[in-house]
A and B are shown apart, each in its own frame.
Chain A
């Protein structure tokens, strides 16, 4: 009896429940605001606005935490990490003609689901300093969580594309409405720089994605379905694989972002509010790497192998060039943004080596970068909330006033450098091992990135934290409060744990990566064996 009950419990649409849970919260916030406005008949006092805002914050926190708890519950109750294939699969009729609503997770996606649900409550907490249009802001974040979870859970290409593209909309609004002030002159027209960043973000990613859409349609025609597991078993003709690979590459390279299509990222990061930067760095960028692993490698193995040197070249350029660019930045957020591009270079390099260490390292690097870069943007946010500038030169000597902050910032800086003991090291090391197996020169050049990352990260830390506390504005600066400590502490625990003991995460990756590898190698061997 109990077994039957457990069985039926396990076959519930858990992933859909998880995915759409934040959306329910968004509706809740919207409804509350509408009712409040109706009651007030258009005239709302400041006290009432403050009350609506508080409710919106609490509801958002409740639902993001709820999603986190549900995702952890799903992981421990129903997910079996020793199984390689897709789990918790649910299917429903949708468009017909081979397109259905299908969700499921495997070792590659489940940890991204958990990362998303983990980062989101932190983002809500980090948004304490948002003071205008709070309910809309929270709605945008909740909707974004739904869309991101959808991306990682979708097992149908059209469903995936839907979530993937739709996630642009809330981010576009978050950057544009709640972004920082300042103007920019562009071709004689003065426009707000956050608007510029939002538009650039939107159009860049859209342009990358529409090419993928055409490729998806082509695959739909060829295979008669957009079911991802089926497509992963489909052998596309070698000539077509190249074109399809490039179309998918256009989308994921922009999202990742890879050099030379990374230029939207620094703009978007600088202009976005702190929580927006955190989501962008910690989760949205991971969609690119996830896409490479979910689609490019398994569906177009021949093209992936053929174009691997191309990816290596771009990755190496990203690692070295953007590290050098980061070294020259005057804006803290820009510096971290460029360092993100460099770190994503390790990910693409690792993934396309086609080795177990490379792929696992890429996955691990993405996970760890989610904690560390998210935390770094939070650290910048802590300073920005107090002093309202991101200029590195405006700071100095903070260690005297902010000892706790100094410790946390140092920890995450070390994580960014890739110091052993912090999760950043494991990912970088594994991708380098993978690269070394593929071609030792790649590893040789990538190693420069490790050195350069130490240079820019330590320079940032030294200029902001050390030296004399000379600037008048900094005299009264307060150390981190309980809220900030909670957010950064939670991230620290995970970054440290995974750095010291990466096995749990690697064990989750392993079965799915092994399956991916064996299919990949079989496809290459099949092509080599064919006349």
Chain B
């Protein structure tokens, strides 16, 4: 079995790796955005809840949360499919970190621009969608890319709840062929390729929507 054949066998698991990564990124993006916007409302009891969310999901290891969701919830009558368990663990951890990235980026929006929009007669929601969120997303780009990369690199934890992603395929193959060195090297190559493609796509979007002449803060 050649190295390329090993890679092609492992590539079958790449689809699941990409699926898990994308599902967790989307969960993280929207939960992080929602948390950052809710923080903006500055309602004290809500702030406590949001702080509890960010501290909990940033402070407890991924594997603990994943096992709590996947093995813990069924014991109280809530069976969770593996992909959903990943979204509720890795996805929400990503969301907890992204909410902080988004909060910082929202703070970077020039208050004078918000006042200008207010003075035009724009309502809060219009200011949010037309001024704040478009700028916030641009300012958050480096932080978002970091988080998305982290999600990709933590995606092999899906293996522990039975998702047949790259690492699971690799482990099965290594057990039957005893060619661990080449197989895990191939795993590294595949992850790097996925990372590289993801990063290039993200950077293309970032360049496409960059504010001309504006230097990133």
Q: Do A and B bind each other?
A: no
Q: Which residues of B does A touch, CB under 8 Å?
A: none
